[in-house]
Chains A and B, each alone.
Chain A
Amino acid sequence: MTISIFMSNGDFDTRVRDVAARANWMRRRLLAMIVKAGQGHPGGDLSATDVLAALYFDVLRIDPAHPRAPGRDRFVMSKGHCTGALYSALAGRGFFPEEELDTYLAPESRLNGHPNRVYLPGVETNTGPLGHGFPVAVGIAIAGQIDSADYRVFALTGDGELQEGSIWEAAMLAGHRKLGRLTVVVDRNGLQQGARTEDTNTLEPLADKWRAFGWDVVGIDGHDHGAILRAFDAAAEPREKPLCIIANTVKGRGVSFMQDQAGWHHGVPSAAQYAQAIGEIEAEMES
């Protein structure tokens, strides 16, 4: 079964504008959600927002009315703490009502602190502990390879997450099996929970590591919507190897006081900070 529901069908510039607008909405929406809940991971959400906006509003062939359709593209949020970005994308894409975002973390809410596939349509596997989602995505891609299926599989990992050994077990297997329909995006914001990745456990030379495991690698500005869409368009071409997109991003992107600050890995803006953040995001849209 092939699904062919795309959000953007226009020319490239239209697609870029659509994704930019969606990302801007997601930023405002996820901050509202975090403020309402009194908890969240805004730093990582905001570094991942532009990539997720491109995936959910342009790239992924998914149908909210049939979230488990066998032929759907899969997206796995391996950095499972970044539910602000994921839930705002899923709500925006129509997997559940937007108002439900206001139940984030409330008792009995489907919007758990980490994604849950059992409760929430559109979630492919439960994540939270790091290093789980990407290997599951590899397994999905192997299923597709066995079936010669035409769906594509995407995963988003954090860069700190790459310190988990299970990531490299899966990367090795994906390279070995030449999973050409698999794309991983590394949200390379340079910060993990406590400090810079390079001060914690060095990741560089990161592209060389993926290449050494049998992957094609491209580096992009993870906030440049045109660059993101071009990378995903390239990923759609027939490929001999899996593709790693290293998205160079800024943690907390779009909110001046959060940007590149490890302290905003998790945190909640005060009322004044929230007003400032929304103002900055709206100003960016208008610029």
Chain B
Amino acid sequence: MSATIAPQGLFDCRDAYVATLEALAVADDRIVAVVNDSVGSSKLSKFRDRFPTRLVNVGIAEQNMVSVGAGLANGGKVPFVSGAACFLTARAMEQIKVDCGYSQANVKLCGISSGVAYGELGATHHSIEDVAWLRAIDKLTVIVPADPWETGEAIKAAAAHDGPVFVRISRMPVPALDRGDAAFMIGRAETLRDGTDVTIVANGTLVHRALAAAEVLADEGIAARVVNMSTVSPIDTAALAAAAATGAIVTAEEGLAYGGLGGAVAEWCARNAPVPMRMLGFPGFLPTGSAEWLMERYGLTADGIVAAARDVLEQRRVR
């Protein structure tokens, strides 16, 4: 198959998140939203107006927000706990570990404005460690959707899943992907483009860039497979086996170059099918700059992915 970038322009995935959440809430009165003074940034004002008793604003208190979410789940609710990803994850890490993962509470954590969306606000507001942290928590499903459709599907799947889920929701404008009759399933990667020379494993805001990179590589005679690994935990090992079979892998994510998606892929490959890899991501604390500038600066672009693919193929040839 070969998915393409749809021509309708760019989207803010928060819109898909809130539209889906509202639709779910109409059908299921167990759905509640929990926010930390983040009604605006989570775009939940319509939800609040429509379901005033079902939006719990805990104020600026992320630890309490996550624990309250676990309590709401105990009380039979399906809470969607939304806050800026940087605070929701870092501030409440032990609550996510103990009250959600270890307790297997039916809580849905929605990290808004993840990655470097708040680029200019500096490293305090960048959420580039979140996937690395959260995929280390047992029983917690970690999903990084790529476009509006997948965001909506991830929210539906999270609501239907019995257990804790983290969904990483970008506010960076992304194009929609045209992928025909796709179906989202937690834990299943999406092969957006077949290829035999190298596999680009990406998620979130890097997926459309990976598709663009594959087009460029195709012009050079390199057949790149593109895999959208939206579920980082549990990871799709069959997709990784297929990726390893192409003999070279590039990972690309709007997060740390270690510990997150790239780390997960590398761990599996090291244990099962070692292949040359390049892991694209951020090196650590980042300077101030717009999101797009940061992505460009650290090579999280189609060109960066192309360069990494050429590089890893060269390494394979030399070996």
Contacts and interface: CB of A to CB of B under 8 A. Distances in A.
Interface string B79-96: 100000000000000110
Interface string B48-79: 00000110101101011001111111111101
A92 interface: no
A129 B74 CA distance: 19
B75 A136 contact: no
Could you tell me the dominant secondary structure of chain A's interface residues?
A: helix
B167 to A, nearest CB: 20
B32 interface: yes
Residue of A74, A128, A136, A143 contacting most chain B CB atoms (<10 Å):
A136
Interface in A117-132: 117-118, 124-129, 131-132
A139 B79 CA distance: 10
Interface stretch (A45-53, A59-67, A169-177, A222-230): A169-177
A156 interface: no
A166 B98 CA distance: 14
Could you tell me the dominant secondary structure of chain B's interface residues?
A: helix
Contacts of B75: 139-144, 146-147, 149
B105 A170 contact: no
Interface residues of A, number: 33
Contact of A142 (B56, B94, B102, B103): B56
B104 interface: yes
Contacts of A170: 64, 67-68
A141 B79 CA distance: 14
Nearest to B94: A129
Interface in A128-165: 128-129, 131-132, 135-144, 146-147, 149, 165
Nearest to A144: B75
Contacts of A142: 56, 68, 71-72, 75
A198 to B, nearest CB: 25
A176 B56 CA distance: 11
Residue of A131, A142, A144, A176 contacting most chain B CB atoms (<10 Å):
A142
A125 B105 contact: yes
B99 interface: yes
B94 A118 contact: no
B74 A125 contact: yes
A143 B74 contact: yes
Given A132-B99, A142-B56, A173 B61 contact: yes
Nearest to A139: B71
B94 to A, nearest CB: 6
B71 A126 contact: no
B274 to A, nearest CB: 35
Interface in B156-195: none
Contacts, number: 106
A70 B68 contact: no
B64 A126 contact: no
Given A125-B70, A132-B94, A143 B64 contact: no
Contacts of B95: 132, 135, 166
Contacts of B76: 70, 143, 147
A136 B70 contact: yes
A269 B78 CA distance: 45
Contact of B71 (A125, A165, A166): A125
B72 A140 contact: yes
Contacts of B99: 125-126, 132, 135-136
A138 B71 contact: yes
A139 B53 contact: no
Given A126-B103, A132-B99, A166-B63, A173 B68 contact: yes
A128 B102 CA distance: 11
Contacts of B64: 135, 138, 166, 169-170, 173
B98 A132 contact: yes
A131 B69 CA distance: 15
Contacts of B59: 169, 172-173, 176
Nearest to B58: A173
Contacts of A135: 63-64, 67-68, 71, 95, 99
B190 to A, nearest CB: 31
Contacts of A173: 58-59, 61, 64, 68
Contacts of A125: 70-71, 74, 99, 103, 105
Contacts of B67: 132, 135-136, 138-139, 166, 170
B94 A137 contact: no
16 contacts: A74-B74, A125-B70, A125-B105, A132-B67, A135-B99, A136-B67, A136-B68, A138-B64, A140-B74, A142-B56, A143-B71, A143-B72, A143-B74, A146-B53, A169-B61, A172-B59
Given A128-B98, A149-B75, A169-B63, 19 more contacts: A117-B103, A124-B74, A125-B74, A125-B103, A126-B99, A132-B67, A137-B71, A139-B69, A139-B72, A139-B73, A140-B75, A142-B68, A142-B75, A143-B71, A143-B77, A146-B32, A165-B63, A166-B64, A166-B95
